[in-house]
Amino acid sequence: MAEFFRKYWFVSVLSVLFIGVLVFFVSDMNKDSVKSKQVDGKDVIASTTVGNVTSDDLFKQTKSTESSVLFSMYRNAVTDQSIETTDEIKKSAKEMQESFELAIKSDSTGKTKASINSQLASFGFSGDSALSDYCLIASKIQKLDGQFIKDHIAQLTSYIPEKARTVSVITMEVENADELTDEQKQKQKDIQNALDAGQAFSDVAVKYSEQKDASKTKGFVGYVDANSTNLDSSVLEAVNELKKGETTDWISVSNGDKYTLYKAYVEETDPAALLENEDSTIVTTLVNNIISSANGLETLVILNASQDLEISYANDKIQASVEEYMDSQIDHLDENLKAIANEIRGTKDETKAGSSTETSTETTTEQEGE
C-alpha cells in the first residue's frame, strides 16, 4: 500500500506528512503572549494572507515529537494558497481519488480501506473528506513542484533520470521469430518502406501495429528511463542506445508459445521538452523522479513559493522551528540549488528590511506632524 501512495505523493525527506503539533508548542507559545490573535474565539497559531491555523486545529491532530510537524502544516498552507484550485487540479484530484476508491472496492477483505485510512491519518487527513482533501493537496503539490522544476531545469541536470525519453513501438505477433512466413516478411518490408518514405511513426503504427489499442495509442508507450519496467528489458536496452528520432531494428521477445516483434522509436530525449509534454503522466513521472532523487528539493520549492505570500507567526519559536527545519533540509542540496535558496532568502530579507524602513519612516513622519 505504501507503493500505491508513493504513486501520488512525491517521496523526499518529508516521506511522512504529519499535520499536528506538540502541545508544548501551543502552551509554550501562549505563555509569552499577552493577548494572541483570535478568530471565532480560537487562538491563531499562524496566519497567511489567505487563511489561519488555530490552536483547535492543532489539538485535534496527533501529537508528535517530529520536527517536521510544523513544517508540514506550513507546506500544506503554502501549497494550497500558491496553486489555484482550477478545473485541471480538480480533475487530477478526482482521478487520483478514483484510483484509491477502485483499490478499496476491489478488496472485499476491507484491508485496503483500513490501510489507506491509516496512511491518510499519518499524513494528517481525517474525517469523511480525508481522501478528497489529500488528493487535492497532492495534485497541487505536483503542480507546484512541476512549475519550479521547469523554471530551474538547468540547475537540476544531475537529478534527471538516466536515459529519460518518450518511446513508441510497432509490434507483430509471430509463431517463430527465426522463421517468418512470407506474409510476415512482407509486412515488415511494408512497415520499413513506409518509414523510409517519411511517414510519421504514429501513422505507421496505426496502420500496421498489432499492439492492443494501437489505433488509439498510435503506438505511443510513453515515458521511460534506464530504470523503467513498462518495456521488455531487451527493448528498453535498445531504445536507450538511440538518439531522438532514431528507430531500432526488429527485436524479438518471447511471449509464452509465441513471440512479439518490436520496432521502437525514440520521440523525445530533451528533459525541458518532456516537461512541456501535453501528456500529464509524462510530466508527473519525470517530476516525481527528480523530486525523489534530490533530497531537500521539495523544501526549496516551498521556500520559493512562500516569496509570494505574506506569512506571519504568532510566536518567534514557531517561526524558528519552521525555518530551522527548512534550513536542515536545504543543507542536503547541491551548491547550485543552495545558491537558489540563498538568493530567495536574500530577496525576502531585502523585502522585509524595506518594509521595516517604510514603517519606520511613516512613524517618524506622524511624530513630526504631531
More confident residue, 173 or 115: 173
Most confident of 38-47, 188-197, 324-333: 188-197
Q: How far apart are CA 131 and CA 113, in angstroms?
A: 11
The pLDDT value recorded for residue 35 is 45
Q: How far apart are CA 113 and CA 176, in angstroms?
A: 46
User: Each residue of 47-104: pLDDT tens digit?
Assistant: 554 455 555 554 444 333 356 667 877 888 899 999 999 999 999 999 999 998 998 8
User: Which SS3 state, helix, strand or coil, does residue 5 take?
Assistant: helix
For the chain, percent of residues with pLDDT exceeding 90: 55
For residue 206, give every residue at least 6 positions away whose Cβ sits within 8 Å of its Cβ, in sequence order, or none.
214, 215, 218, 219
In the structure, what pLDDT confidence band is assigned to residue 122 with cuts at 50, 70 and 90? low
Instruction: Retrieve residue 141's grid coordinates.
Output: 503539490
Give the least confident one: 40-44, 56-60, 268-272.
56-60
User: Each residue of 207-240: pLDDT tens digit?
Assistant: 999 988 898 999 999 999 999 998 999 999 999 9
Q: How far apart are CA 139 and CA 151, in angstroms?
A: 19
* Side-chain half-sphere CA neighbours of 161 within 13 A: 23
Domains and CATH numbers, the chain: 2-155+279-355 (no CATH), 165-268 (3.10.50.40)
Average pLDDT taken over every residue of the chain: 81
What residue type is 65 in one-letter code? T
In sequence order, what E strands does 159-298 have? 165-174, 220-224, 251-255, 258-268
More confident residue, 171 or 11: 171
Q: Identify whether the C-beta of residue 247 lies closer than 8 Å to the C-beta of residue 260.
A: no
Q: Identify whether the C-beta of residue 333 lies closer than 8 Å to the C-beta of residue 341.
A: yes
